[in-house]
Amino acid sequence: MIEHLPILQVIIPLLAAPICLILREARLVRWFTFIASALAFVNSILLLQQVQTQGTISYSLGGWDAPIGIEYRIDLLNAYLLILVTSISTLALLAAGPSLRKELSERKETYFYVAYLLCLTGLLGILATGDAFNVFVFLEISSLASYTMIAMGRDRRALWASYQYLIMGTIGATFILIGIGLMYMMTGTLNMYDLAERLPEVQQTKTVFTAFAFFVVGVCLKLALFPLHLWLPNAYAYAPSIATVFLAATATKVAIYVLLRFIFSVYGFEFSFSHLPLQEILVALGLMGVFAASIVAIYQDNVKRLFAYSSVAQIGYMILGLGVGSKTGLTATLLHLFNHALMKGAIFLALAGLIYRVGSVNLKAFSGLGKQMPWTMAAIVVGGLSLIGVPLTVGFVSKWYLVLALLESNWWPIAVLVLIGSLLAVIYVWRIVEVAYFRKAMQDSAPYKEAPLMILIPTWILVLANIYFGIDTGFTVGLSEQIAASLFEVAK
């Protein structure tokens, strides 16, 4: 049993999805999905323990050894992200019941859970696999499932957002497919670790450069790097609340994992950063993303879309950390991956509770909510403080490491820009605080009640995690530093 953990991680949600269709009854399906996701979470914790004691796990699918068979390979980086994805997914599912009942018709609820589980399967598959083509297949599984989830939003704009995402997502995935094809053409292998061994021999060919370019652009579309982020704001804004929580906290993070894995483990740091102007491109786009997206966020009236733009900005910080090209920079990226998932998970879950009661996320509807829904609004405020990077929240920890990395490389002008970027976050968070706490409630409406407990509990678990990991940084920082060190070791 214990040696099959890498594949069980993917199989559990994959098999749970069709069983949901048989169960039909929405209430049953809801708990069944929750249990499946919780099992995946337990599985990922066991995997991390196993990796920490035994080192990297290699699992041959069906007993066929790599490179002929497909290999699943779990090292610290994979295990770290597996825990992140499964924990957020489980918490989101805890709140899913009341939120979905309000936002979807009962017939659709079951299908939502099926799509949710398939999306989870895809994301976990990308993380677990050690095969380049497998990455593409799982990427498409998760993408198709997320298009479906987004299209279930009750506003008709959800359909249009889903369609746009489908077009851009498919272009991104096809670019990745071209990249993998060209790599295969030059090396004759699809196993990532085989690729890493064979690519240096053919490194100087145009085909390998082209493969790298196609692959990176494709992945950057998926992770919504500015200016390839156009699909993201509307998709997050109009999707059902629970889908937004799940996607915002996990989907882009997994895409960043793919980028890290290929830059460091497959192509190697040397190739990625010395032969190509990748560093300059990443730093420039990361910074532009931080500023452009934060400024646009300030002018949004739809609060869900406001935080979606803020997600694009936060991705800019992660890419910036990667662009520094040092161990500390990579640590900052890995920390921000985890921390951003906690912040956005908390904020979007709180917004789910807000939509449950108020029915709208327009800024106007927020007036007076600070008194009427104190717990929900407090969750948004703590999440917002974390986004800004106030000390004692997780946001501070990752920004600290990012600035540290920039100063280490003597890039102090960029460090200053990062701090100015954080001030922009103050503005858009303040807009919400001002309306919610300092404006009187509209006279004609009865006061809203606090969000249901089933939504509040997971929200506050995430809010407390935001504070806990901001104070006790042992787990996240220790692990991130270890992972960054191991990625640089492989690269050399």
Partner 1 sequence: MNFLEQYNYWIVIILMMSGFYIVIAHGNLIKKMIGLTVFQTSVFILYISMSKVTAGTAPILNEAYKVYSNPLPHVLILTAIVVGIATTALGLALVVRIKEAYGSVEEDLIQEKDLQQEGSE
The residues binding partner 1 (CB under 8 A) are: 133, 136-137, 140, 144, 147-148, 151, 156-157, 159-160, 162-163, 166-167, 170-171, 173-174, 177-178, 181, 184-185, 190, 301, 362
Nearer CB in complex with partner 1: 49/362: 362
Contact 383, 394 (CB under 8 A): no
Nearer CB in complex with partner 1: 238/317: 238
Contact 240, 100 (CB under 8 A): yes
- Please give the radius of gyration of the chain, using alpha carbons only, rounded to the nearest integer: 21
Contact 236, 308 (CB under 8 A): yes
Residue 288 tokens read as 């532009």
Q: Determine the distance from the C-alpha atom of residue 214 to the mean position of all C-alpha atoms in its chain, rounded to a whole number.
A: 22
Nearer CB in complex with partner 1: 67/368: 67
Taking the C-alpha atoms of residue 33 and residue 37, their distance in angstroms, rounded to an integer, is: 6
> CB of 435: closest distance to partner 1 in angstroms?
15
Nearer CB in complex with partner 1: 144/298: 144
Taking the C-alpha atoms of residue 116 and residue 141, their distance in angstroms, rounded to an integer, is: 11
Nearer CB in complex with partner 1: 7/168: 168
> CB of 351: closest distance to partner 1 in angstroms?
17
Nearer CB in complex with partner 1: 37/300: 300
> CB of 364: closest distance to partner 1 in angstroms?
9
Q: What are phi and psi for residue 277, nearest 5 degrees? A: -80, 40
> Cis omega (within 30 of 0) on the bond before 6?
no
Taking the C-alpha atoms of residue 184 and residue 190, their distance in angstroms, rounded to an integer, is: 6
Residue 267 tokens read as 């192509």
Report helix, strand or coil for 74: strand
> CB of 155: closest distance to partner 1 in angstroms?
9
> CB of 187: closest distance to partner 1 in angstroms?
12
> CB of 315: closest distance to partner 1 in angstroms?
24
Nearer CB in complex with partner 1: 171/467: 171
**Residue corresponding to tokens 């992972």:** 483
Strand extents, DSSP E, 45-192: 57-60, 71-74
> CB of 141: closest distance to partner 1 in angstroms?
8
Taking the C-alpha atoms of residue 395 and residue 401, their distance in angstroms, rounded to an integer, is: 10
Which candidate, 143, 90, 81, places its Cα nearest to that of 118? 143
Which candidate, 371, 354, 370, places its Cα nearest to that of 362? 354
Nearer CB in complex with partner 1: 60/170: 170
Residue 373 tokens read as 């829904």
Nearer CB in complex with partner 1: 75/131: 131
> CB of 299: closest distance to partner 1 in angstroms?
12
> CB of 261: closest distance to partner 1 in angstroms?
19
